[in-house]
Every structure is written in structure tokens, then in C-alpha cells.
Amino acid sequence: MLITILVSAGVVAAVGLVLGALIGFTAKKFEVETDPKIEAVQELLPGANCGGCGYAGCADFASAIVTKDTDPSGCSACSDAMLAKIAEVTGKAAGKKEKMTAVVFCSGSFSRSTQAADYNGILDCRSASIVAGAGGKACRFGCLGYGSCARACPFGAIEIRDGLAVVHPELCRACGKCVNVCPRKLIRLVPASAKIHVYCNSLEKPAKRRKLCKNPCLACKKCIRTDENHMQMQAGLVRVNYSNPPEPGFVEQVKCPTGALQLEEMHRKIEALKPAAPAPKKEESK
Amino acid sequence: MNIPVKTWRFHGGVHPADGKALSNSVPAQRAPLLERYTVALQQNIGAPPKPIVAKGDVVKKGQLIAEAGGFVSAPIHAPTSGTVGDTVEVPGANGGTIPAIEIIADGKDEWGSGLEPIPNWKNTDREILKKRIAEAGIVGMGGAAFPTHVKLSPPPEKGIDTLILNGAECEPYLTADHRLMLERTEAVLEGAAIAAKILRVDRIFLGIEENKPDAIAALREKAGAYGVTVVPLHVRYPQGGEKQLIYALTGRSVATGGLPMDVGCVVQNVGSCAAIRDAVVEGHPLIERYTTVTGTPVVNPGTWILRLGTTVEQALTFAGGVKERAAKVIMGGPMMGFAQTSLGVTITKNSSGILLLQWKETSGYTSNPCIRCGRCVRACPMKLLPGPVSVMVESENYDEAERNYVMDCMECGVCTYVCPAKRPLVQHFRRAKAEINAKRRAAKAKQA
Amino acid sequence: MDTNELLMLTVGAILVNNVVLSRILGICPFLGVSKRIETALGMSGAVIFVMTLASFVTALFNRFLVTATFTINGQTVSLAFTRILLFIVVIAALVQIVEILLKKFSPSLYVSLGIYLPLITTNCAVLGAAELNADASRGLISSTVFGLSTGVGFGLALLLFASIRERLAISRIPKAMQGTAIALVTAGILAMAFMGFSGLVK
Amino acid sequence: MSEEIEKKTVVLPEPGSLVLSTSPHVQDGDSISKIMLKVLVCLLPAVIASIWFFRFNAVRILVYCGAFSVFAEYAWSLAIRRKPTVGDFSALVTGVILALNLPPGAPWWLCMVGSVFAIIVVKELFGGLGQNPFNPAAAARVALLVGFAGPMTQWAAPVTGELVSGATPLGAVQLAKGSKEAMAILGSPENLKALFLGNVGGSIGETSALAILIGGFGLLCFRLIKWQIPLAMIATIFVFSGIVHLAAPELTPGPVYHILSGGVMIGAFFMATDMVTSPMTALGGLVFGALIGVLTCVIRIWGAYPEGVSFSIVIANALVPLIDRLCYIRPFGWHSHSASALQIRRGEIK
């Protein structure tokens, strides 16, 4: 009995030794260098693969951070705590970043804008925009309302309310996907500290804007006259000066005749009564 | 010339109810002079023409008001005599807005094009004829609006041996070319002969669908004198597609991404031929065209000779307005035309028709899934796989769509016509083509 | 070993007793690496290679160590009970070596196979093939052929499955059924269809 | 003056009320429900034949399967809060085809299990019409064969309705295996005539090759199926079983027997040709049909199951994405020498 145990133990051990040696040999012979830091950084990144950093995905960005000294703050979806941890791994100081958020510069929901036609086709902004006349709304500059941005958002921060895209700033991580997908170029990333926006993007003749929408910016410049430091003209549009945004009380002060200049909160209250649930990500991890 | 010519049958195609009976027996009528014309400043593919008149200028009928903005461009002329009004914006037939010049008519309608007639064109230099065609602002009047003089200047190494006249008019409802061939038979043939002289070819085919027997008879009677062979073709949409027509008449297939001249052919619309003749023999630039105003809701459907700059609203008024509620106003035919949202669209050089459809006649699109019945595959004249490709586009897989030759799609609409699930296939392909083109432009910009 | 018998063995291992669809072995990589045809082909290649090699090597071990009896000091010693232990060690070592080589020579395939390559280490399909060989007391050649055809059977099932899943990926599947759920339903239907082959090999 | 008045009475379409969509603006009148209705019409001969031969049993099974299928689809629509899709008649088509695939002695619960399996598991779980990779009726038949072998072989003699077992033509082949003489008797002209007309045992709808051929002809006339699939399938079975028959007459009866017996006809015309689960291109159809033919013969001749059509169809369904991948068609104007044009298209050269 003892012999059986000894022999089998010996044989198994010998086999193990031989194979182990073989593995060791091949591992040495065909070694491939990898940096464990890359994996560590990748673990810390959000894993949404949103592409907001300009790289193909989180894995790509991680290797860029480690090998090419890219600034990890390029990831807009990372919290500051995460950035600090990444800096710990790489041993490099993380850059500071200002929290940004996306804003859809339009207030023309279906009920508040004039309809030019009855659109019958694919319910997607980018598909609708290639049909002559583009969607049902008469305004050539406004939100089409078919939700391409909402589908593109990896964080579920955009909601379509009555044919108008509305951003929930608390969910938005400013990855910029919606900016690129909007065929009307309505969405911009602005500092999240700004709470007031001019919700209109129309370059139509001001007289015509009134016919197309209930809340157009008529470019009367009342707001600019009220405070030139906070408001400005940008490429024919009245815009908040985002390097020096006004305080929330500014809306009361100006009393915009059409309501295009609006508090973000109010704008959302009118359009979005219920917040969108964040889209579940990371399906099937294992 | 009654010699039967061998024809080839292209893959797929459909035969929609053609609705031509509404208007094909009505002689074309010349529209009365309007008080004001709104002439759009972009009526051709390529560079937009540059306006050369200012508000208040007095112009004669046919006078140049915008010169060509490059080689691939066509000048624009005043549709009547009068004064130049405001520069306004008009909705374009395929979306967006385009600048336009208003011409306020003085009612005299005096010619003053400054182009000398060349009745003896047979003994005139080819370059002079070509220059005349360019000056007259002639473009492809079938739909694409490609400047004709560019088409007539193929590189010599292409070895052009065939001129094909496109009189197929395969789009349902439209009868403008039909009436034109019937009423201006000799003008069409003479224009073709001029084009053939410029191209130095002696083989001229005129492809025409068999559903226009009166036009075929009229053409055949006179075609011999001009060296044109009239070839009746099967009634099958899209028989008038450039590549399909070349294949049907010569058996040559244009390579994917290629042009007709790669196989030694030049295709001209019959309307353009008549315009060539007018420009050369009469010295008249292109300021009016045959346009069909039709559809079941229209009170008096028919073909009208409309001046460029007439609005759809005015054209519909000529035709007596509507007797039934129209769901769609379409510029062009039902298969490839553009649905309009306003009646302020103006007649341009390529407006072959204004079609009104009732709700029950139009297509209602759904978001139904593809049931893979394969009808689109059987029907596609380009031999693509419309159904599967549309599913790829739906899931935004443009690379896969590109590998499946979505860029070869000519948007003829056959797949969508036959789709029992009523999927908006053409819209998917337009989207894919737009996305792929944008990607290519971005890649090119990156390289540069 | 006559050819007919080998043919039966092959057909049996590929169709009738398909390792995935009939024996329900190796489900983890079957579900995990079947999202795209390219990775499925890579995985099939890896499995075929490992399985053939493992079947051969384990058959050797089986012949000269496991089923052999030694007489030491007049006592007969049989190592039969160490069979699974030895097989696992051998297979694990083999996979390790394959993995190292793959990482060196085809990094893209290595990345796309991801976690599933190490999983072949403890893949019941590979071990199962070795065990089935040992149970049936097959010789060296027939063991290797069985390993190869079992691997081909795995590859066939994986390829079929991957092509269906590529189509499923663009289908409008109800949210609750997306991913693994519908994949398992598909596998079930496929497994039932493969039961039609039963009786081909007596 | 009169002209002025006339102008004012002209009615024009109102902008704002117009419909905006891409071209084309007209469509042919066909729709999914019309297609399914046409399929039902084409199924009529087989349904009539089944009732003729199996009387009340056939009626019972047809009603059960049709009702359970439609009900399952309706219930699912309610459960996932979707607009009910029973109006497209696809569930009814599935139910009828499944019924035609069941033996005359099938109990009601077998019909229910089969219908619910076909509609819910094989079709709706995959997303409904157009999304299912497997033919619902074929997969349901496979599931029933595998799961309920007993009830699935409750055969009955035609017309008399007497319940017997092993009385199908293919069952007879299994029994006759090994005997050249028995096979020769099976392949006799009288026997073949009975098979053609359908006066034999078997699933209620598959016995009469004649009735199915009439329906299949209808399908071809309506252009609802690709002729390549049934042609390739039947031709392959003919050739394959013919060769085996010549080489080993004791193993299998002649090729005509194979084509006329069992589910070959109904499979070739009504199940393999299901547009959702068959390849899209003509070449793909040929490959697909040939594949089913080969698999059917292999299972019938050497396998344990007497019949292999539904197994073969489901396996071939699984191969459709691969077939679609390999049997693509080139676009019009694709020449091997047009490489430069291809490059232009891809943007490689300007």
C-alpha cells in the first residue's frame, strides 16, 4: 500500500516537474513584454468605452496613459478620485479639469414648434436629416426630436420629451458622443457651472423665427444690454459667455421676452418631468 | 429605320402601375406669362453659378443673369424680359434653401440672349458648338442636372463610339419626354445629330419604352434622316437608369464606380437634345422646359411648357388646382422624386414633373423587421442585397454595408417598392451613403 | 485499425455524439467565444490543436503509466487511480505552452480568445475526450483520431453557433432574452436537431 | 375678370398637411398579411387531402394547432405589451403547417405543446416574425419527435382511422432493411401510386404528394418561394438515394419512393422555403436545398429515425447565415478586371 502511494506520488511529481520545466523553458524562450500598469489603469477607467477621450476604447486609452504619457483627465467620465488613483499607479500627477456638461440649444418641442409636414420614415435624426425637408418641424435649425443623441449617450443622460432632447446634467459625463451625432449640430459641451442657457440655435431671419417656434431667440439683445460681460453674440447667435457665466438670478433680471434665455432647471422642468433612468452598461461581464 | 436591334435584359426591375394615361394624350400647353419669376441660382450639379445682375437692372428674355461658376457648372438666363428684383431664398427641391433672383416681367417678353443662331451647324467647328451649348446653360434634363457640355467633352482615350438618347421615361406618371418626343420630334433628332457631331460618333440609339407607340412611330418616321436608330425597350423600371439603358442597348455593363464613357457611351436625355437644337439653331438658351403636372388629385393633369422660375404653386394653378386632398407633392416621379413640404419650390432645369398623390396611393413606411423574403434581391437592378444591407445600416454597421456595395445603390427605389414589410430601405441606404461619404472625407482630410 | 472503424469513430464524434450538442461538454467557451465567426474559428483551431495533442499525449500516458502495472519488491502497483490527476496536469501544461506560443505569434488572436484560452486548461471537453479514450481503451491512433474529430465537432458546433449569433446580434430580441439567454435557447434547438443523427453509428 | 375669379376658386394643397418621406412614393400593394394569406391558400389542397384521408382526426388537429398557435401569439403580444401581431396570419400559417406534420393520433396536448413551442420558443423569443433563425414548424416537430416519441407515432390507416403503429411508408422501410425483396415490393408501381395520391399512413398533411404539389405550384405562381430550394432538395434526394439504391438495393428503396414518402414534399415546398429561415440568393437556395437533401437521405438510410426532413431543415436553417456569407452575389457591373473601379470606390485612388 505504502509503495503504491509512494510510487504514484513519485510519478505524479516527476511528471509535474518535467512539464513544469517545459513550461518554464517555453515561457522564457517566447516571452512577450507587457506592462502590468496598463491593466491596472484599465481596471480603474470606467469601462464605458464611450470614446470621449479620442481613443478607440478604455483599453486603448489605458495603454496611451501608460506608454504615451497621455493625461488621464482626458477621460471625462472619470471622477476625480479615480484620476487620483490612476495617478498613483502611473506615478504622474493628474491634470485638473473643469466639469463640463452637454446642452441642447433648442426649446422647440413638438407642441412648441410649428409643424411643416407629416414625416413618415425612420425615426432617427440622422436618417431624417437626409430626407428633403428633414423631419416634421418647420425650423431648419432646431432639434429633430428623433433621439439619435439619446441612443448615442452611453450614460443615459439624454431624454426625449415631446420631441425635444433634454440633457440631465447630473448624469452627463461630457464624453461628447451626442455632439458628434447630432445632424443639426445643436449640442455643445459647456462648463457645468453655467446654469443659464439661450435655448435657440436658429439662424433664420428673426421675423420668421416667431412663426416657427414659441420660444425662439429673436436676437433682440435685451440680455446683452443688461450685462455685456455675461452675454455675447457668437456667429450670429446670442449665447451665454461661458468663460464668465451669469448667476441664476440673471433670468429674472433680464426677463427674456420669448423665454429662450432660461434656467437649465426650469427648461428641464417644462420639458422633462421625470428623469431618465441611467442605461445599464457592461452587459455580460463573465 | 425599322431594323430590329438586339437588346439585353437587365437584372431585376419592376413594373409599377404607370399612371401615364392621366396625361399622355394631353398636348403640352405653353404656360401664360407670369408677373414674376423666382429663378433659383443653383440648377446644376457642380459649382453654383455666380449672379452678374443687381436689383433694378433691366434684362431681356434669355439674357445671362448668372455666369458659370466653373467648368462643371451652367449659366442661368432670364426667363422673360423685365427688371431684376430682390434676391430671395427659395426651398430647394431636394431640401434646404437656395438663393434665387426675382425677375419682374414687363410683359413684352422680348428676346435678347446675345447668342447668334447657327443654322448651318453641319459646317461649324465642333468647339464652337460645344461652347454654344455651355453658354446656353444646358444640363441633363432627366433629373441629375449634370452640365451637358461636360458630358460632351470626354477624354479622347475613352474611345466614345455610341451616343444614347434616353427617351425611356421609365418613371410612372411622367409624360414630359413623351410629349416632347411626339411634338418636337425633329428638334430632338436634330439636337442628337449635333451632339453626335461633337462626339464624332455615328452610332446613335434612342431608347424608348414600348408604352409610347405614338412617339415611337413619329420618331421612326424621321429618325433615318438624322442617323438615329429608335430602339423600343421593355416597359420595366428603371429602364431609363443610365447603366441599365447602356446595358439594354449595347450589352456593355459599366463597372461599379465607373462612368458611361468607360464603356464608350454618352447618354443624353431627349429634353437636353431638344435644348441643344434650340441653342444652336435658334440661339435660344435654356429658359423653359416640358414639365408634367399630374396625379389623381389634379383637376387638369397634363404637360406644360414652364419657364424656369415658375413656382409649384403657380404650376398647379395652371393645372386647375386639386379636386381631392393631396397627401404628397413630389418634384419628379414617384420612384425617385422628392416629397415637398411647401409649394414655394421653383421649376428648375431638371424638374421633369410635379406629381400629387392621394394618401391611399402613397407608400406608408413602417419600422417592421425584414422578413427576408428576398424580393428586393430579385428586383434590385444593381444586383445588391437591399434587405440584409438595410439591417446592417439599422444596427449602424456601415463598414459591413460598404463591403456589401451599398455605395453602388442608385436609389432607384425598386427594393422599397416591392418590400412587403414596407421598410424604408432607400432611406437606410441614403443614410449609409451619407455616413460613408463623411467617413471618407474625414479620412481624406486626415491624409492631407 | 481498419478504415471503416476510423470513419465511424470520426462521424460519431463529429455528428452523432457531438461534444457540445450531444455530450454538453465545453459549454463555457461555446457560449463565450461564439459572438463573432473570426474568434470562433480561432478558438476552434486552438481546441482542435489542444484536443488532438492532449488525446495523443494522454493516450501515451494511459498506455505506459496508467494502465501499466509495476512490480516493486514483489508488490504489484497500479496507477489507474491517478488517471484524472495525470490527465489534468498534462492538459494544463499543454494549454500553458499553447498560450505562451499564441501570445508570441498571434497577439490579436490571443486577445480575442481572452479568458477562454486558459479555460481550455480545465476544459471538460478536452479532459472528456481523454477520459472517453481511456474508458474505451482506444489505442494511440484511434485516440488521436477521436481527439481530432471531437475537436472538429466542437469547431463545427461553434462555427454554426457563431454564424447564428452574428445574425441574432442584429435581431430585435426581447430585452430579457438578449445575450446568453437566447444563445442557450438556440443551442437547445440545435442540440435537438443534432439528435436526428442518432443511430448513424451503432 | 373671369380669369381672376377662376384663379381664386383653384384649390391648392395646404402646406403643413403634406406627408414627407423618402422616395419611392408608391409601393406595390403586397404586404406581409397578404403573403401569409396566399400561403394559406396554397396550403388548402394539402389541408383538404388531409381531411379526405384522415377525416375527423385531421379536422381536430388542424383546429387545435391553428387555435393554439394564434392564441400563443396573441398572449405573447399581450405579455410584452406589443400591438397584437396575429393580424399578419403568420401564426396561423405556422399552426397549419405544424398540424400537417402531426400524426392522426396526436392528442390535444401534443398540439398545444407543439404550437406553443413553435410560436413562443422558436419565434417570439427571438424577436418575432423575421427574426427567428429556425423554421418554427420544423423545430416544433423536431422537439415533439425528440420529446414525445410515443404520441408522435400514433399512426392511423387512412380513411378507416384505425390506429396502428409502424404503418407509415418510412416505417416500412425501416422494417424492410436488409431484405432486397422487401425493398423491391415497396418500390412497386402500385405502392408508388398510393404514395403519390396519399392513400397511406403518415402525418396528416404529408401523405399526399399530389395535393402538396398543387399547393407548391401555387406558391411558385405567386412567387412566394424560390424554386431553387425545392428543386435542389428533391433532385439531391433523387440522386443520392438513387446511387445508394443502385449500390445496395437491400438498404433502401428506389429514389422515387424517397421523394414521395414522408415529409419530403411538404418540407421542400412549405418548410424549407420559409423565407425567414432560408438563404436570400438563388445560389444560396441551391446549396441550402442540396444540403437538406443530403442530410435527409443520410438520416433516413443510416440513422435511427425513419424520417429526417425536419431534422435536416433545422440543421440547414442553422447553416443559413454561413450560406448567406459564402453565396453572395456581385453587384451589376462587377468585373474581375474592374479592380481599379473598386479601388476608386473604396477611396484608395482618386
| CA D201 centroid distance within chain | 21
Nearest by Cα to B167 from B214, B207, B227: B207
The pLDDT mean for chain D works out to 86
Residue C170 and residue B369: Cβ atoms within 8 Å?
Answer: no
Cell 414522408, located at residue: D262
Write down the domain spans for chain B.
130-282, 375-447
- Calculated CA dihedral for residues A50, A56, A59, A64, nearest 10 degrees: -120
**Distance from the A216 Cα atom to the nearest Cα atom in chain B, whole angstroms:** 20
Residue A126 and residue B96: Cβ atoms within 8 Å?
Answer: no
Domain of residue D293 covers: 32-326
> What is the sign of the dihedral through the CA atoms of D192, D194, D196 and D201?
negative
Report CA-CA distances (Å) from A143 to A107, A162, A178, A200, B370.
8, 11, 12, 10, 29
In CATH, what number does B130-282 get? Answer: 3.40.50.11540
Residue A120 and residue D18: Cβ atoms within 8 Å?
Answer: no
- Please count the residue pairs, one from chain A and one from chain D, whose beta carbons lie less than 8 angstroms apart: 33
**Distance from the D138 Cα atom to the nearest Cα atom in chain A, whole angstroms:** 31
What is the reported pLDDT for D1? 39
Residue C169 and residue B395: Cβ atoms within 8 Å?
Answer: yes
Decide if D121 is inside a domain. yes
Residue C100 and residue A30: Cβ atoms within 8 Å?
Answer: yes
pLDDT digits 0-9 by tens, B330-369: 999 999 999 888 888 999 998 999 999 998 888 888 888 8
Query: Is residue A273 very low, low, confident or very high in pLDDT (cuts 50, 70, 90)?
Result: very low
Residue A162 falls in which region: left (phi positive, over 0), alpha (psi -120 to 50) or beta: left
Q: Facing residues of B291 across strands?
A: B304
Chain A residue with minimal CA distance to C181?
A284
Asked whether the beta carbons of B269 and B41 are under 8 A apart, the reply is: no
**Distance from the D19 Cα atom to the nearest Cα atom in chain A, whole angstroms:** 5
CB-CB neighbors (< 8 A) of A121 in chain D: 20-22
For an interface test with A, the pick among C35, C97, C111, C112 (most A C-beta atoms closer than 10 Å) comes out as: C97
Residue D20 and residue A121: Cβ atoms within 8 Å?
Answer: yes
What is the reported pLDDT for C112? 66
Across C114-119, average pLDDT: 65
Residue B427 and residue D22: Cβ atoms within 8 Å?
Answer: yes
Residue B96 and residue A121: Cβ atoms within 8 Å?
Answer: no
Helix D108-116 and helix D32-79, axial crossing angle in degrees, nearest 10: 100
Percent helix, strand and coil across chain A, each to the nearest 5:
35, 15, 50
Is the pLDDT score of D339 beyond 70? Answer: no
The domain that holds D176 is classified in CATH as 1.10.3430
Across A121-126, average pLDDT: 87
Query: Is residue D15 very low, low, confident or very high in pLDDT (cuts 50, 70, 90)?
Result: confident
A contact chains, 3+ CB pairs < 8 A: B, C, D
Is the pLDDT score of C66 beyond 60? Answer: yes
Nearest by Cα to B195 from B228, B220, B235: B228
Chain C residues 153-172 with CB within 8 Å of chain B: 169-172
Q: Is the Cβ of B75 closer than 8 Å to some Cβ of chain A?
A: no
pLDDT digits 0-9 by tens, D269-312: 999 999 999 998 889 999 999 999 999 999 998 888 888 899 99
- Say which of D127, D308, D319 has its CB closest to residue C196: D308
Q: Is the Cβ of A3 closer than 8 Å to some Cβ of chain C?
A: yes
Q: Is the Cβ of C38 closer than 8 Å to some Cβ of chain B?
A: no
For an interface test with B, the pick among D4, D6, D10, D27 (most B C-beta atoms closer than 10 Å) comes out as: D27
CB-CB neighbors (< 8 A) of C190 in chain D: 314-315, 318
pLDDT digits 0-9 by tens, D47-73: 999 998 888 889 999 999 999 999 999
Chain A residue with minimal CA distance to B365?
A121
* Least confident segment among A59-73, B186-200, C83-97: A59-73
pLDDT digits 0-9 by tens, B374-426: 899 999 999 999 999 999 898 888 988 888 889 889 999 999 999 999 999 99
- Say which of D16, D17, D19 has its CB closest to residue A120: D19
Q: Is the Cβ of C40 closer than 8 Å to some Cβ of chain D?
A: no
The pLDDT mean for chain B works out to 90
Q: Is the Cβ of B205 closer than 8 Å to some Cβ of chain D?
A: no
Give dist(CA B443, CA B297) in Å, integer: 48
CB-CB neighbors (< 8 A) of C167 in chain D: 133, 321
What is the reported pLDDT for B330? 92
Is the pLDDT score of B113 beyond 90? Answer: no
Across C4-11, average pLDDT: 88
Residue B427 and residue A121: Cβ atoms within 8 Å?
Answer: yes
- Please count the residue pairs, one from chain A and one from chain B, whose beta carbons lie less than 8 angstroms apart: 49
- Say which of B369, B392, B397 has its CB closest to residue C172: B369
CB-CB neighbors (< 8 A) of C185 in chain D: 121, 125-126
Is the pLDDT score of A264 beyond 90? Answer: no
Residue B395 and residue C172: Cβ atoms within 8 Å?
Answer: no
| CA A59 centroid distance within chain | 18
A112: amino acid identity, one letter? R
What is the reported pLDDT for B316? 92
CB-CB neighbors (< 8 A) of D17 in chain A: 117-118
Number of domains in chain D: 1
| CA C117 centroid distance within chain | 12
Extract the C-alpha cell encoding B14: 419592376
Chain C residue with minimal CA distance to B390?
C170
- Say which of C163, C173, C189 has its CB closest to residue D134: C189
Q: Is the Cβ of B94 closer than 8 Å to some Cβ of chain A?
A: yes
Cβ contacts of A10 within 8 Å, gap of 6 or more? none
pLDDT digits 0-9 by tens, B258-288: 888 888 899 999 999 999 999 999 999 999 9
A68: amino acid identity, one letter? K
D contact chains, 3+ CB pairs < 8 A: A, B, C
C contact chains, 3+ CB pairs < 8 A: A, B, D
Q: Is the Cβ of B394 closer than 8 Å to some Cβ of chain C?
A: yes
Residue A30 and residue C101: Cβ atoms within 8 Å?
Answer: yes
Q: Is the Cβ of A123 closer than 8 Å to some Cβ of chain B?
A: yes
Sketch out chain A's domains with CATH numbers: 36-90 (1.10.15.40), 100-271 (3.30.70.20)
